[in-house]
């Protein structure tokens, strides 16, 4: 299975093949997010929940790092999109948010590495 970083790098390479520069692809994702539909494999709940399950350990590690570095909790980080009734992310809403979060954070980190 591919790592989260490998999946994100492949997405950037696809965007470059479509005529974007690396920075343009990253900037657009950071501006509009996965919720815009610009990441074709992360649009539908069936896809985002599958992605979350496949990369859960990596996403949880990223989440832990962000929460630790910001001092926020998940409800503060995700705002009203976070389902407080599902703190263990058993349902699709929070799994979807975390799939998007994991992908976006990984792409952002790849941009910082550039």
**Every domain of the chain and the residues it spans:** 4-113
> Quick check: 113 pLDDT over 90?
no
Contact status, residue 91 vs residue 52, Cβ threshold 8 Å: no
Contact status, residue 106 vs residue 8, Cβ threshold 8 Å: yes
> Quick check: 105 pLDDT over 80?
yes
- What pLDDT score was predicted for residue 58? 98
This prediction's pTM: 0.94
Between CA 9 and CA 5, with CA 44 as vertex, the angle to 5 degrees is 15
Contact status, residue 24 vs residue 114, Cβ threshold 8 Å: no
CA distance 4 to 21: 21
């Amino acid at each position: 299975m591919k790592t989260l970083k490998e999946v994100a790098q492949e997405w950037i390479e696809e965007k470059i093949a479509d005529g974007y520069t690396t920075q343009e692809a990253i900037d657009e994702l950071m501006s509009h997010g996965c919720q815009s539909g610009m990441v074709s494999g992360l649009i539908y709940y069936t896809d985002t929940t599958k992605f979350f399950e496949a990369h859960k350990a990596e996403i949880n590690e990223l989440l832990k790092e962000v929460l630790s570095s910001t001092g926020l909790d998940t409800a503060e980080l995700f705002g009203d999109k976070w389902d407080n009734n599902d703190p263990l992310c058993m349902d699709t809403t929070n799994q979807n948010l975390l799939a998007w979060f994991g992908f976006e954070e990984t792409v952002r980190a790849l941009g910082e590495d550039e």
